[in-house]
Amino acid sequence: MSARSILSPAVRYHLTKNSLDAGAITGSGRKGRILKADVLQFLSGGQAVPSSAVKTVGVTAKSPSVSAVAAKPKETIHIPKPIFKDIPNSGMRRTIARRLTESKSTIPHAYMSVECPIDQIIDVRKRLKGEGRSASVNDFIVQAVASALVRVPEANVRWQNEEAVPLPSADVGVAVATDSGLIVPIVFGAHRMNVLEIAETVKALAGKARDRTLQPSEFEGGSISVSNLGMFGITNFTAIINPPQASILAVGTSQLRPNAAGGVQTVVSMSYCFDARAISEKHAADFLNVLRYNLEMPHVPPLL
């Protein structure tokens, strides 16, 4: 067996793949052995081809004519252009981006989380529904937050002129998603309202937010914001403080958990984000403990 007839696996692969006749290729290896580089050079058209036909060695595929190989067009790969569309920012989105960037870069955010039982709230909502009245879980949360701010006034503050300034009223912002972005209308004096009054106020403010008829006085200021993504199935998340407020409460969806009696209870996961300059960790913990108690034992509206 001559050295020329000994073909490496790589040479055999390229010969078979391209239906080449080994006899048509001039080997540059020892004693005329065909190398992989010889095959690749032949494919690129850089090697002369003998005029006489030579029997294929070790290749079973039918060899095309030299002219057919030379005339074989190179395959062109067409890469589709990406389809995208630039969506210009609205004035509201630009304002949101500026304020959130400023908040995250200048306010020292600190976080605490707690799971709050809401079985009593669920029962009260059923009773209200039977009376033809309604209030969402979020309305009860707004009421509980306002009450907790009254009980823990150290959490009802605003960082201003390098000091924590106490606020005279528990004004709770409720985040509302609109086509233009997120806006937070405020329930002023929420601690003086029952849950049905809060429900009516929130509904009216949310409608005005989506209709873009909110007045600046209805979304500026406030003590704290409540951002609830539970209706979207979000278990828990953290939020960014909405200046000039010093805290925000992120509310997730309800989940079942075992209770001390061996049964199950419905809880909601909440993440409290606060300005560490204005609210200490102790007062943040006090606020969450009172909030959890308020949700476990909600204020029940009077019967009709």
Q: Are the CB atoms for 251 and 238 separated by under 8 Å?
A: no
- pLDDT given for residue 259 in this prediction: 87
Residues 164 and 115 in one domain: yes
* 141 belongs to a structural domain: yes
Instruction: Indicate whether 85 belongs to any domain.
Output: no
Number of domains, the chain: 2
| Domain containing residue 14: CATH number | 4.10.320.10
- For the chain, the maximum distance between any two Cα atoms, rounded to a whole number of angstroms, is 108
In a domain, 23, yes or no: yes
Instruction: Give the pLDDT of residue 38.
Output: 83
Residues 66 and 116 in one domain: no
Question: Are residues 228 and 162 both part of a single domain?
Answer: yes
**Residue 219: which CATH number?**
3.30.559.10
Co-location of 30 and 148 in the same domain: no
Residue 103 confidence (pLDDT): 94
What pTM value is reported for the model?
A: 0.70
What distance in Å separates the CA atoms of residue 62 and residue 16, rounded to the nearest whole number?
Answer: 9
The ranges of the chain with pLDDT < 50 are 48-61, 304
Q: 13 and 152: one domain?
A: no
What secondary structure letter does DSSP report for 145?
H
Distance (Å, rounded) from C-alpha 110 to C-alpha 224?
Answer: 14
Rounded to the nearest 5 percent, the helix, strand and coil shares of the chain are 40, 20, 40
Q: Are residues 142 and 282 in the same domain?
A: yes
pLDDT value at position 234?
A: 95
137-151 and 281-296 helices, crossing angle to 10° = 130
For residue 5, the model assigns a pLDDT of: 66
Inside any domain, residue 95: no
Does one domain contain both 37 and 172?
no
Query: Residue 87 falls within a domain, yes or no?
Result: no
For residue 304, tell me if it sits in a domain: no
Residue 159 lies in a domain: yes
Residue 37's domain spans which residues? 3-71
Question: How high is the pLDDT of residue 50?
Answer: 44
